[in-house]
């Protein structure tokens, strides 16, 4: 019986019309330039272990890192194990995480995830993508953060900065985080996935801002198709209409993490 090829079939060219081999070389040049530019880059959430990073990551959705760190500081002193967290009544947890926004979803996600960690994994945060995704309340982004930061496993972390900058750089034309992740996985060498994610995240915080990117001082400007247009994606004319940003649905349920 013929074997099915499950590998993703790549389009012949990247969204900016370059052969994929060239896109890979350009991604490496971007990576090296950003690594040189940001030796200080780090995960800006405060944590001491996998459980704290997981909780901070859940809280960081649509919230500043400074606010998350403010909220978690007293909580991490008081609640140390998954069994401590799971015992907190959800309404109390909602109150505790209220300042980070979307507090109902976040409280529920923390409650469910810590219950699973305590009851199914003996209190230890698991270390594979499959196990992390089996935790209730945990999405792909949180799982990738854990893998990349704690477990030294290559992972692409698609957050808002990564998503925006990888489009500006012409490495993807997608808006769906999973599709962006798969596009970039084809372009960035696996051993650099975690650091590449960290660099794009940091770059988005300090230079490639959403509104007015500071293109003139950007270390990646020589390799960015959006440099001339100051972050405007002019190459989008080459992208089929179906790949443009979908209209937001009103009343859609939001998943924390
Ligand atoms: S040149 Fe401008 S748009 Fe391109 S990566 Fe740099 S800051 Fe972002």
CA 210 to chain centre: 16
pLDDT value, residue 183: 93
* Per-residue confidence (pLDDT) for residue 249, from 0 to 100: 52
Per-residue pLDDT reduced to its tens digit, 159-210: 999 999 999 999 999 999 999 999 999 999 999 999 999 999 999 999 999 9
pLDDT at 10 over 50: yes
CA of 214 to the centre of ligand 1 (A): 7
Q: What's the CA-to-centroid distance between 164 and ligand 1, angstroms?
A: 10
Residue 19 forms beta bridges with which residues? 13
Dist. CA 160 → ligand 1 center (Å): 15
Q: Largest Cα–Cα distance of the chain, in whole Å?
A: 60
Residue with CA closest to ligand 1 atom 2: 215
Task: Decide: helix, strand or coil at residue 13.
Answer: strand
Measure the CA dihedral 53/54/59/61, to 10°: 100
Q: What was the pLDDT predicted at 211?
A: 93
- Of 50, 48, 95, the C-alpha closest to 73 is 48
Of residues 184, 182, 191, 179, the one with CA closest to residue 169: 184
Residue 13 dihedral angles phi and psi, to the nearest 5°: -135, 160
Q: What are phi and psi of 114, to 5 degrees?
A: -70, -30
What are the structure tokens assigned to 206, written together?
Answer: 């300090």
pLDDT at residue 229 greater than cutoff 70: yes
Residues with Cβ < 8 Å from 50, sequence gap 6 or more?
124, 125, 127, 146, 150, 151
CA pair distance 177, 22, nearest whole angstrom: 23
| pLDDT above 60 (res 250) | no
Can you list the domains of the chain with their CATH numbers?
20-40+157-242 (1.10.1670.10), 50-149 (1.10.340.30)
Q: Is any atom of ligand 1 closer than 6 Å to the C-beta of 221?
A: yes
Angle between helices 65-78 and 50-59 (to 10 degrees): 140
Give the number of residues written for the chain.
257
Q: Which atom from ligand 1 is nearest to the alpha carbon of 30? A: 5
Lowest-pLDDT range of 5-9, 12-16, 63-67, 108-112: 5-9
Give yes or no for residue 208 CB within 6 A of ligand 1.
Answer: yes
Q: What is the mean pLDDT of residues 233-244?
A: 57
Cβ(33) to ligand 1 under 6 A?
A: no
Q: How far is the CA of 19 from the centre of ligand 1 (A)?
A: 21
Identify the pLDDT of residue 6. 42
Chain-wide mean pLDDT for the chain? Answer: 88
Q: Which helix (H) or strand (E) holds 184?
A: helix 177-187
Judge contact between 26 and 223, C-beta under 8 A: yes
Judged against a pLDDT cut of 80, whether residue 22 lies above it is answered with yes
Q: Confidence class of residue 132 from pLDDT cuts 50, 70 and 90?
A: very high
Structure confidence at residue 18 as a pLDDT band (50, 70, 90): confident
- pTM across the whole model: 0.84
For the residues 38-53, what does the mean pLDDT come to?
Answer: 96
The token pair that represents 131 in the structure block:
């196990």
Distance 166 CA to ligand 1 centre (A): 10
Q: How many CB atoms lie within 10 A of CB 210?
A: 11
> Which is more confidently placed, 120 or 1?
120
Of residues 3 and 101, more confidently modeled: 101
């Amino acid at each position: 019986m013929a074997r099915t090829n499950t590998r993703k079939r790549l389009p012949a060219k990247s969204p900016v019309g370059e052969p994929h081999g060239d896109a890979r070389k350009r991604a490496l040049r971007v990576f090296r330039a950003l690594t040189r530019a940001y030796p200080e880059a780090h995960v800006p959430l405060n944590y001491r272990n996998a459980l704290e990073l997981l909780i901070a990551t859940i809280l960081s959705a649509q919230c500043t890192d400074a606010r998350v760190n403010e909220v978690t500081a007293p909580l991490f002193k008081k609640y140390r194990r998954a069994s401590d967290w799971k015992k907190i009544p959800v309404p109390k947890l909602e109150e505790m995480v209220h300042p980070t926004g979307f507090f109902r979803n976040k409280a529920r996600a923390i409650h469910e995830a810590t219950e699973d960690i305590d009851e199914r994994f003996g209190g230890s945060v698991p270390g594979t993508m499959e196990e992390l995704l089996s935790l209730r309340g945990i999405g792909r982004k949180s799982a990738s953060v854990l893998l990349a930061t704690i477990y030294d496993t290559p992972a692409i972390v698609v957050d808002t900065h990564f998503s925006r900058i990888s489009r500006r750089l012409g490495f993807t034309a997608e808006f769906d985080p999973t599709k962006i992740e798969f596009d970039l996985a084809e372009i960035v060498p696996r051993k650099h996935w975690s650091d590449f994610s960290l660099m794009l995240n940091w770059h988005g915080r300090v230079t490639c801002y959403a509104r007015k990117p500071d293109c003139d001082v950007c270390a990646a400007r020589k390799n960015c198709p959006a440099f001339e247009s100051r972050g405007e994606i002019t190459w989008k004319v080459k992208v089929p209409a179906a790949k443009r940003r979908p209209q937001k649905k009103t009343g859609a349920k939001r998943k924390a993490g």
